[in-house]
Chains A and B, each alone.
Chain A
Amino acid sequence: MAAEPMAARPSDGVSHGRRVITAWLVVSAIATPLVVVLVGPLLPPGNASTQASQQVIDNTVITGIVTPVVCLIFVFFVYALLNFRAPKGGALVDGPPLRNHAGIQIAWMVITSVTVLFLAGFGTYELLQNGAGGGQGPSPVAVPGGKKIAVQVIAQQWEFTYRYPGFGGFESHELVLPEDTYVVLHVTSLDVVHSFWAYELGVKADANPRVDNVAFVRTKAPGMFQVRCAELCGLWHGYMYNNGHVVSADQFHAWVKSQQALYKPIAKYLPGFRREYLPAPVRRGG
């Protein structure tokens, strides 16, 4: 048996749209500055590098733009709960019929298009400044000027090791960087796909076999940062982390000397520095 068509409720003459928009504007005008001022500085990844600080600004801008959108959803949700309920004990009736409104449609398209295009332009501008700490592949587009030290990040199941081509090419299990210095990171892998994520420095770059993925970072003051693998890479992926350190120039040079001395016996066996490695399994694999 077919269901009876539900009767439509006549319009109550109230401009719900105006009410919702007014409430949304008021709530957004209060919430957005509060979010930008109070939440913005707490957003990740922190201020350990120029790129990290830049990412905090980017995240603040995005959060500031998202806030009115979130406010609109919540305002409409609350308004609908309060005003569009069926009266207790009354007959269940449909709402007033929808009608086309060209102005609303155009406004919706213009506002959303402008928002998305602004974010695309803003993101592109930020990326082109200095790469924003992301891996740019072997031929980086956003290359910051000035003197830099190079560090090669070599991923292997399940540890990162670090090679310093500007200091005799020694390799170490530790990542130590001098303060207030531009560093160019050459990220590669000896086996599967990993991802080098230096959280507080705001650096994240995939480590792919046979690829030199270049990322730039300018360190700030001395401190510690976490290094994690951000690509599921096998049994010990969850354990593929350690801590890196940003130290003073004097401490950095002392550390370099200590590492050169410690790893001197193995230095003769290291291959010449290359931008990427994919050594063949010597005997077993394949």
Chain B
Amino acid sequence: MRVGGKLLLVVLAVAAAGVLIGLYAWRLTYLAGSPAYKLPVKTANGHQVVDLKIMTVAAIGPKLSQNPDWVSYLVQTPKGWKRETVWDLPANATINVTIYNFDGQSGLRNPLYGKMVGVTAGASGASNQILLNGKPTTEIDPATASHVFAVPDLGIDVAIRGVDDNAKNQCGFAPCQMQNAHETITFTFHTTTPGHFRWQCFVPCAAGWIDGWGGPMQTIGYMDGFLNVKAA
């Protein structure tokens, strides 16, 4: 083979390797950054406000996932509840969060996460508190925790109490209805500078996986996600 032919082969091989690496990088970016749900933003007194309503369910069900028995978060969109955990939020905004938890009590491995930090309790503005079914709460018994909504880089840690085992009319799988037994958690936090912040659950809540840490705990779109805080 002539030198020119060999050179052409080398160039083609390098180009093919570049394309493969590019595809891999794109896949990583895709997983980390999209699909993102852009939450509707409203303005109050010249200040941006977002109402983020999310739901936690013990099983996502066959309509919303190929893993119907996986525990999951869902977000409320104009088209209904969606299994999307990457959310676009505006910077320098107030985020009012409501979590409807339809899942049972799993318990925390580290009781520290039973303490609410980095959020305020709605209209009262009391720091490091939430409203649990309308009642100001600074911590929950770690054994009753169902999930945690934590954004470590923003210093946010909210423990979510689970539905009592003896509660009637419990939800089987998503999407759950408000008449099903649930706990309602509301709190507020504020975004400041733009950034890409991961959020996660700290309860090992993946049923059937070793120590509860596999499957939905290790997969974006179930118990993990991102807050993409973007400048207006």
Interface residues of A (CB under 8 A from B): 154, 156-159, 161, 171-173, 190-192, 234-236, 239, 242, 262-263, 265-266, 269-271, 279, 281-286
Contact = CB atoms under 8 A, between A and B. Distances in A.
B152 A242 contact: yes
Contacts of B115: 262-263, 265-266
A279 to B, nearest CB: 5
B155 interface: yes
Contacts of B112: 161, 171-173, 263, 266, 270
Contacts of B206: 284-285
Nearest to A266: B115
Contact of B106 (A156, A265, A283): A283
Contacts of B106: 281-284
Contact of B211 (A159, A269, A270, A285): A285
Interface stretch (B92-100, B136-144, B166-174, B175-183): B136-144
Interface string B90-117: 0000000000000011111111101101
B109 A283 contact: no
A242 B155 CA distance: 11
Given A173-B117, A173-B155, A266-B139, A285 B110 contact: no
6 contacts: A159-B152, A235-B219, A269-B142, A279-B110, A284-B206, A285-B207
Nearest to B127: A262
Size range of the interface on B? 35 or more
B213 interface: yes
A98 B155 CA distance: 69
B188 interface: no
Contacts of B143: 282
Interface in B108-157: 108-112, 114-115, 117, 128, 138-139, 141-143, 150, 152-153, 155, 157
Nearest to B111: A269
Contacts of A282: 105-109, 143
A60 B139 CA distance: 50
Contacts of A154: 110
Interface of B: 104-112, 114-115, 117, 128, 138-139, 141-143, 150, 152-153, 155, 157, 198, 200, 202-207, 209-213, 217-220, 224
Contacts of B109: 156, 190-191, 279, 281-282
B114 A269 contact: yes
Contacts of A262: 115, 117, 128
Contact of A284 (B139, B155, B205, B219): B205
B211 A265 contact: no
B197 to A, nearest CB: 9
Contact of B224 (A159, A173, A236, A281): A236
Given A157-B217, A239-B198, A281 B139 contact: no
Given A190-B109, A285-B210, 17 more contacts: A156-B202, A158-B200, A191-B204, A192-B213, A234-B218, A239-B152, A265-B139, A266-B114, A279-B110, A281-B212, A282-B106, A283-B104, A283-B106, A284-B207, A285-B206, A285-B212, A286-B210
Contact of A190 (B110, B198, B207, B217): B110
Q: Which DSSP category, helix, strand, loop or mixed, fits chain A's interface? A: loop
B150 to A, nearest CB: 8
B105 A235 contact: no
Which 10 A-B residue pairs are closest in the complex by CB-CB distance? A282-B107, A285-B212, A266-B115, A285-B211, A269-B111, A265-B139, A284-B212, A235-B218, A283-B106, A284-B106
Contacts of A284: 106, 203-207, 212
A269 B138 CA distance: 13
B111 A271 contact: yes
B107 to A, nearest CB: 3
Contacts of B142: 266, 269
B118 to A, nearest CB: 9
A76 B108 CA distance: 62
A105 to B, nearest CB: 41
Contacts of B211: 191, 281, 285-286
B229 to A, nearest CB: 15
Nearest to A192: B213
B114 A285 contact: no
A285 B219 contact: no
A81 B104 CA distance: 73
B204 A173 contact: no
A266 B111 contact: yes
A191 B104 contact: no
Contacts of A283: 104-107
Contacts of B155: 173
A191 B114 contact: no
